[in-house]
Chain A
């Protein structure tokens, strides 16, 4: 068996996983049993697929085999009955698998996967546990991979996932087919979980960006999966468009030394055009429904940035309006802060500063507030006040890249406050930092 054959099987197992684990969960009503059954089915697949060729429907095959193996397991432990021979158990599988594939109708498939995702984003779990559980159960990443992405030890991640599973089991799982209202609530929860996974990967700093990139890619994969199941949901289109458009810029977001590159300074030729094309197509389609929501609005903003060939061509007036709409559907000081950036481009730094001053008490511990405030003050020539804001921002920075970025602003302030040409040495010193 060549490497490409193994790669093929692994891809098939990954793509069948959500459906297979979802169906096994419906059958066994227990997360651990379902997961174990799927693992066993995968082991069989690795053994038999290279010899017999790929089955007609890999997911159906895995569900069938996983179910048989788990039932045998139960029989063995309960009655000590002799196990049927391996080959016997799956001898007629070709026909049975075809029949099962036909019975796996679209609606079950949809609810199985949605239920699986929904269990992971259980409201009683803290966000970090939701994400970890989803990556383990739905995506099938190993504990080691997840631990690496979250920059914690394997043991800590193992514990986090075990705890999450216990809490889910304790809370009980709704297995009945959800009604229309419940489904839309679940869907919103699942969408939020995918958004969290993406943000976890996206907010990485330069030195960890490569490690956390798989989180973004996994979020995109899950969003696409959800969209295939719910093809007419504009908010799911919006979510998928949003994360595609954001991720398309990832190659341009960090300098070689790991420092953050702002949108205006990014090399736009590094943006992934195929990803942008898909994102734009999706937001285009979502807008046609005229049922806007927070994901769609954010995606529309990202789309305006993606459409601009140069920073100067950015349609800031439209972005200001869209942030205004976002303030209505999802009011938050952070949204207003983002809007202020658009306002500064359209109506100048003073208008922007006026907009964010009332936010100070709410955002007293928010890195970006002081960064943005400092930038506006600097544009107004109020350099001393800007300096104070930047110092505060550095104290609140979450990553070394954020801190380095603010330090660059401060260096510029120092440089500008020097009498021209008087102190070249100090200028160089500041730059070298």
Chain B
């Protein structure tokens, strides 16, 4: 069974880290990741850019694009995609197509800051 570990933290707090603090945290995380990599148990790792860079597509008809992160707590995170797009509009087009195939709920579109593909297969 593969497990997804979703990272949550207060953005105000993380945003207050100095560059050195940020690097120190990333370094400590890298130690943990390295161990898993050597055991062949680590899949993709992504660090998302701040929620201010996010747009949300509500899968209504027609789909509604909103600024900011996804904020409806009555719905749950069910999965995620990583797609390669030229810009936000292209990424929203992909989300629209996905939304047409599977209406209801919403997609949050957030740029990825760090991406490591990892080496496991499901």
- Interface of A toward B, CB cutoff 8 Å: 7, 11-12, 14-16, 217, 221, 224-225, 227-228, 231-232, 237, 240, 274, 277-278, 281-282, 284-285, 288
Given contacts A277-B49, A278-B49, A285-B88, contact A15 B13 (CB under 8 A): yes
Separation of A369 and B113 alpha carbons in the complex (Å): 39
Interface size on B, residues (CB 8 A): 26
Cβ contacts B98-116/A at 8 Å (1 or 0 each): 0000000000000101100
Separation of A281 and B86 alpha carbons in the complex (Å): 10
- Interface of B toward A, CB cutoff 8 Å: 10-13, 15-19, 21, 49-53, 55, 65-68, 87-89, 111, 113-114
B49 to chain A, nearest CB (A): 5
B30 to chain A, nearest CB (A): 15
A-B CB contact pairs (8 Å), 21 listed: A15-B10, A15-B12, A15-B16, A217-B19, A224-B52, A225-B12, A225-B15, A228-B11, A228-B51, A232-B66, A232-B67, A274-B114, A277-B49, A277-B111, A277-B113, A278-B50, A278-B53, A278-B113, A281-B53, A285-B67, A288-B89
Q: Are A221 and B15 in contact (CB under 8 A)?
A: yes
Given contacts A15-B12, A281-B88, contact A231 B53 (CB under 8 A): no
B111 to chain A, nearest CB (A): 4
A283 to chain B, nearest CB (A): 10
Given contacts A7-B21, A278-B50, A281-B111, contact A224 B88 (CB under 8 A): no
Q: Are A11 and B49 in contact (CB under 8 A)?
A: no
Given contacts A274-B113, A281-B49, A282-B53, contact A11 B88 (CB under 8 A): no
Q: Are B13 and A285 in contact (CB under 8 A)?
A: no
Residue numbers in B under 8 Å from A288 (CB-CB): 55, 65, 88-89
Q: Are B113 and A11 in contact (CB under 8 A)?
A: no
Of the listed residues B15, B16, B113, the one surrounded by the most CB atoms of chain A closer than 10 A to its CB is B16
